[in-house]
Structure 1
């Protein structure tokens, strides 16, 4: 949650800076005022989503929506950018999960082979591999690497 706030803080600051002029000009109870505020906010959010979405995902969703509605579709429309961004995030999450779990799988295989070579078939490999995995994660500063990868992948 804190990393999400850190990533979105520049976008929120730009929205707030643009809205500071709009709020004084628009009555608070006006529906048109709310629309104007949402339009300004969406412009900055759309810039963020567009910068962090893969063009292939955007074009795939544009084609799907265009095929369903049989109308022209703006690629900056929320029903295009939000799913495209989420698809990219899911793809990155699976890649990150694989990259993180691969060294742990190697530790499991090495520990199991060493225990078999020593003739300790009755000893559960997880008894030895879990402390080794924790030690490996801490020795390579895993939290720092994970946080860097999560935050560094966004352009704001």
Structure 2
């Protein structure tokens, strides 16, 4: 019986082996013919010597793709997003609810507020640079210069001279005589430092009323002899009540928008 089962097993194993051998023979014989008929895909960015405008167009496309890939960093560095999201984080910590509202909600609200605050700058860039370029009334280089002007105006408006001078001290560059001599990259770095300082200042002011409420609740619990009861647990509902009564979100959003002078 053992010999019978062994023969059956060897017969079953020989069948897939025969299939593999047959498939290998087919690929060996028909492989060169299939390789000759197989389609190929190639990507060539080169243009003819007599068509320099095609080279320029390809470079503009590559530049546009690079800008799109750096769009998140652009939003974080040269817009109002940094100040808004940091102030929202301070607000959550001050109220004692570090997970509410969720980070996704606050980031979405910060993006919408950024669009509102940056609308005048974006509209000027669209009217002076983007639309004339799309209508082929100006060249690519001129469009970049005209798009840079409104953005630099916004950055200069919210950048402290002291924060900008820090980078000149670090790089040991010659001090500029006017705003036109300030590089945009240097200006963006100074703008980031100024935004961080402004956001922390606003965050400190947000903490004050909630800190006072914490102190009052702690004093009441201490006077009542409830020293084992965490004051933060008792103070959190009162913080939320205070924030709702003063219409905190409308007050916060309005103050942030007005802080940019829009």
The two structures have a TM-score, normalised by structure 2, of 0.52
Contact 1:108 1:129 in 2 (8 A): yes
Distance 1:106 1:9, change over 3 A: same
- Once the two structures are overlaid, the 10-residue window that deviates more, 10-19 or 137-146, is 137-146
Question: What value does the CA root-mean-square deviation take over the aligned residues?
Answer: 1.9
Contact 1:50 1:76 in 2 (8 A): no
Write the mapping of 1:52-71 to structure 2, written as runs, cut at 5 A. 52-65=158-171, 67=172, 70=173
Q: Confirm whether residue 10 of structure 1 aligns to residue 120 of structure 2.
A: yes
Write the mapping of 1:104-143 to structure 2, written as runs, cut at 5 A. 104-143=210-249
Contact 2:163 2:190 in 1 (8 A): yes
Return the structure number with greater relative CO, CA threshold 8 A, min gap 6: 1
Distance 1:63 1:122, change over 3 A: closer
Deviations 1:19-78 (A, max 9, x none): 22343224xxxxxx433222111111001101111122223333433x0xx556555311
Give ranges in structure 2 of 5+ residues lacking alignment. 1-110
Aligned equivalents of 1:57 and 1:139: distance in 2?
Answer: 38
Give ranges in structure 1 of 5+ residues lacking alignment. 27-32
Q: Confirm whether residue 21 of structure 1 aligns to residue 132 of structure 2.
A: yes
Write the mapping of 1:92-103 to structure 2, written as runs, cut at 5 A. 92-103=198-209
Q: Confirm whether residue 48 of structure 1 aligns to residue 160 of structure 2.
A: no
The two structures have a TM-score, normalised by structure 1, of 0.83
When the two structures are aligned, how many residues end up with a matched partner? 147
Contact 2:160 2:190 in 1 (8 A): yes
Tell me which structure has the larger Cα radius of gyration.
Answer: 2
